[in-house]
Structure 1
Amino acid sequence: MVNVKGKWALITGASRGIGYQIATFMAKQGCNLILHSRSLKNTKELENDVKALGVDAYSIEAELDNHQQVVAMLDKIDEKGTTVDIIFNNAAVQTAYRENYWNTPVEDFEQSFQINFISITTICNRLVPRMIERGFGRVINTTSGIINQPELSAYAASKAALDKYTKDLSSKLDGTDVVMSLADPGWCKTDLGGQNAECEVETVIPGITIGAFVDDKKSGRFFPAQTFTGMSLEAAVSKAEQIKATPYVI
C-alpha cells in the first residue's frame, strides 16, 4: 500500500460534499493538500482544519467551466513549486433534469463537458507527463454509475467521455508507477446528488480514495466506492487490488 505521508494531492471541488470527505481523510493519512474550489473563501475553514491535523495545505480557485481559469490555476501551482503526486478530479456539475430530453439545451452539454471532462483533461495533460518522468503518480477520476436517464443526458455523456479518456490513457501507463483509476461514489446526499439520494456522503470513505493507495502499477480499474464502506483502508486496498484492471487494449 502506498504511503502518502508527505506527498501532495490536488483535490478539485474540495470545499464540500465528496471533495471535503476526500480532503479530511487524506489529511489524516499525512498527505499535503491543494484544495480547489470556485472561491478561496470556500476552503478557508477546511484549510485550517487539515493543517491542524499536521499537514501542509493551501487553497486555489478556478471556475472549471472557464478554460483560461483552469490553466491559470495550474500555473499558480507551478509558481508555488508544488510537485503534485496525486490528483482527485472530483468536481462536477449536474445540469437540470430535462423531462423533455429531446429538447435538452446545447448549453447543458457545453457546461457538462467543460467542467466534467475538458477541465480534467487539461489538468491531466499538464500534470501526468511529469508524474511519468518522476516515476510516481496516482490519478483518481470521479465518474458515475448513471444509466438509462436521458433526462440527464448531458451529465451522463460527459462522464462517459471521462471513462473513455481514462481507460485509453491507462493503456499507455503500463510499466510506469503512474496509476489512473475511475471511482464511482454512488448516489450520495450532496448538493449534486440531492437529499433523496440513497447514501450518506460519509459512506464514500475509504472507497473514493483507494486509487491513491493501490500499489501494483495497474491502471484502468473502476472502483465502486459503496462496496468498500466500513472497511479499514488496508482491507479496502487489498480488495481493490483484486479488481481486474481493464484499460482499452486492442
Structure 2
Amino acid sequence: MPAFFKNKVVVVTGASRGIGQAVALAFAREGAHLVLAARSVDRLALVEQEVRRLGAEALSVPTDVTSPDAVAALVDAATSRFGRIDVLVNNAGIGKVGDVESATFTDDLHQTLRASLFGMISVTQRVLPVFRAQGSGAIVNMSSVMGRKAFARFGSYAIVMHGVSAFSDSLRQEVAGGNIQVSAIHPALTATDLLREVDEAEMPPPFRHMTPLSSDAVGRAVVAAVRHRRRRVVLPRMANMLLLGEALSPRIGDLIATALTHRPIAAALGMSRGQTYHQTISTTLRPARQSR
C-alpha cells in the first residue's frame, strides 16, 4: 500500500537543524516532497542532501520568516515547483533565557515574538489561501510545554509560546469545516541548539538535570499528529501531569514545577533518566557556529 504521505508536499520552516531537520527527515521517510526553509543556505543544502538520500524530492528556499517578501517567495516557490502544499510545519524560532528584571528582557521578548510568533503568523496567512483553493491542508505549529505552563527565567519564551498556543486554538476554530486541520505540538526540553549558549547554572531550574527529548522523537510525533488529525500533542506524556495541575490551580502547577527542580523527584517521574541537556548537546550536536 502507498504511504500516507506519498507525494504530499510539506513545507518546513526552521528546517536547517534540530526539530525542523528531524521533521523534514521524518516526512521524507514517508514519501513526501519537502520544501525546506531557513536562513542558513549551507545548512539547508546539507538537509536537502539528507532528504534526497531517503529517496524524497526536496526544494531548499533560504527564508527569513520575519520578511514578508521572503515568505511570499517561499510559498510561490513551493507552489511553482509542486503545484500545491499539503502540510505546513511552522517551526522557525528562537528562545532567550533571563529574569523578568534583566536589562535585556524586553528586547529578548521583542526578538522572540518577531521570529517565533509573527513569522509563524505571516507564513500561515500566506499558505491559507492555497489550502482553501485546493480544499485541504494541515498546519502544525511548534509550541512548547511552556506554551501552557511558564517556568522561571524563561518568561520571554513562555509568553511567546503561550501566544503560539492561542493562535493555534483560534485558527483551528476559524478553519473548522473547511478540511484544514491545525495541530499544536508542545515538547518539553529537547536536545537542540536552542539553549546551547546558556550557561548550565543559568538554565530554568527544572531544566538543569532534565533529560531532553530527541529531535527525532519530536519529528515522529509531528508526522503522527498530521496523520491522526491530533489537535494538541504534549511530549513526553508525563508532562501532561504538570499541565493538568496547572489547569486545576496555579498553586498546584507551581508546586509540580518546584518539585521538578529536585532530581530524585524528576527521576521518579521519568523526566531525569540520564544525560542532562548540556551533556547531550556536547556529544550529539553540530557546532553552534552553523546558525539556523
Aligning the two structures, in what range does the TM-score lie when normalised by the shorter sequence?
A: 0.7 to 0.9
Q: Which moved more, 1:179-188 or 1:47-56?
A: 47-56
Q: Deviations over 1:114-168 (max 9, x none)?
A: 1111111111111123212312111110001123335222211111111111111
TM-score for the superposition, normalised by structure 2 = 0.69
Q: Which moved more, 1:104-113 or 1:193-202?
A: 193-202
Partner AA of 2:120 in structure 1: I
Alignment of 1:72-91 (within 5 A): 72-80=73-81, 82-91=83-92
Shift of residue 22, structure 1, vs aligned partner? 0.8
Partner AA of 1:131 in structure 2: F
SS of corresponding position for 2:154: helix
Asked if 1:223 is matched to 2:233, the reply is: yes
Q: Deviations over 1:96-127 (max 9, x none)?
A: x2235364443212211111111111111111
Q: Which has the larger radius of gyration?
A: 2
Cα distance between partner residues in 1 of 2:35 and 2:52: 11
Shift of residue 86, structure 1, vs aligned partner? 0.2
Q: 1:135/1:79 Cα in 2 relative to 1: closer, same or farther (>3 Å)?
A: closer
**Identity rate, percent:** 23
Conservation of the 8 A alpha-carbon contact between 1:70 and 1:122: yes
Which has the larger share of helix? Answer: 2
Partner AA of 2:46 in structure 1: E
Partner AA of 1:90 in structure 2: N
1:53 is aligned to 54
Partner AA of 1:5 in structure 2: K
Shift of residue 67, structure 1, vs aligned partner? 4.1
Q: 1:101/1:208 Cα in 2 relative to 1: closer, same or farther (>3 Å)?
A: farther
Cα distance between partner residues in 2 of 1:99 and 1:165: 25
Structure 1, gaps ≥5 residues long: 229-250
Partner AA of 2:59 in structure 1: Y
1:242 is aligned to none
Shift of residue 187, structure 1, vs aligned partner? 0.7
Structure 2, gaps ≥5 residues long: 201-207, 239-292
Cα distance between partner residues in 1 of 2:23 and 2:235: 12
Partner AA of 2:170 in structure 1: D
Q: Which moved more, 1:21-30 or 1:75-84?
A: 75-84
Conservation of the 8 A alpha-carbon contact between 1:36 and 1:62: yes
